[in-house]
Structure 1
Amino acid sequence: MLTLVDQLGAGPWILPTVFALVLLDALLVVVPGELAVSAAGALSTATGSPPLPALIAVAAVAAATGDLLCYLVGRAVRPARLPAAARSIVEGPRVQRALAWAATRLDRSMAGVVFTARFIPFARLAVNLTAGATRIPLRRYLSAVIPAALAWALYQSVIGAALGVVFQGAPLLAVGVAVAVAMGLGIAIDLLVARRRR
């Protein structure tokens, strides 16, 4: 198992896999992009590969690209044009609450909302779709998305990297703990957001 973990970290597919998962995570919140970045961060310091700066760069580019794709979808697609199954999801109460929250906040403080939403999966999706649908200028939008993506990538990578240092001799344990911590932080953020809404 340790050999497999070492090979995964040193193999040529770790960074493309992280890129793909983070990109998909921006579009489909059920994809574990955060977990992939934290796990790769743990591998980075526990095994020496992938290089931490490369991981941060790949995760940031993937996050910004995914958020931009959501923005473009928001500009192009109107709910009335969606198939019935997709429309029922978009018109569901959870998505509608997130969209209403995003639209209100985008009017007040676009940069702060985009930055905060990058760390909250459903809010991130809602904010990026709403930013596109409300025709926020692309240059203004990117000026918030790029720093937010970089901060998110740094945050997720450093969590994993710190745990990789703590569990230096046990890369498998480092990855497992990094995934558990990333999941726990995600749940805690979701709970705080829900409590604040109430």
Structure 2
Amino acid sequence: SQLLINLSNHNSIDFNLTEVSAPKDTDKIRLADLDFYSRKSFPPCMKGLFTALKNQHHLKHFGRLQLGLYLKGLGFTVDEAIMFWKSEFCKKIDSDKFEKNYAYNIRHMYGQEGKKNDYKPWNCMKVINQQAPGQGEYHGCPFKTFSDQNVKQLVGTYGLNASESQIVMDKKKENLYQVACLRLFELSHK
């Protein structure tokens, strides 16, 4: 579907959520549908950020930027983005602190503050070439920054069989991170 194409064009770790059913409207991802799509259709870099956000109700700067621009690329408006981030962050902080410390940066990402730049989602090479995440950070490409064991665990969350997982792992071991990600998407959506 066009929605899956959009997800794959905008380019860990499982988390416990209640079961969610497939969205009915396939033209646009809604905030309520993010949990569903994050499980199998988000690329691992975004799934990891989304999972960390859901578990910790916070992401550091580069994680917010990487995931925020991805959501923007999926078609979320600035108001939807603020609602999304606020719904997670305000599980740990109050609304005033969110408005003071985070809402400006979201509006800035959408070109509504500061230099009024219209920032685009990061492409795979930008994600791959990010500085390795430090303690408590989750940005970047898991195929590049995770150990083989952690990548194998991550790949397992996409429902692949052993031979399919090995195809993905072989590409990771060859440092073909984009190819590994593409194969993971293809194999989990056949």
TM range (shorter): under 0.3
Which protein has the larger Cα radius of gyration, Structure 1 or Structure 2? 1
Which structure would you say has the larger RCO, counting Cα contacts within 8 Å and 6 or more residues apart? 1
Question: What TM-score results when the alignment is normalised by the length of structure 1?
Answer: 0.27
Which has a greater percent of helix? 1
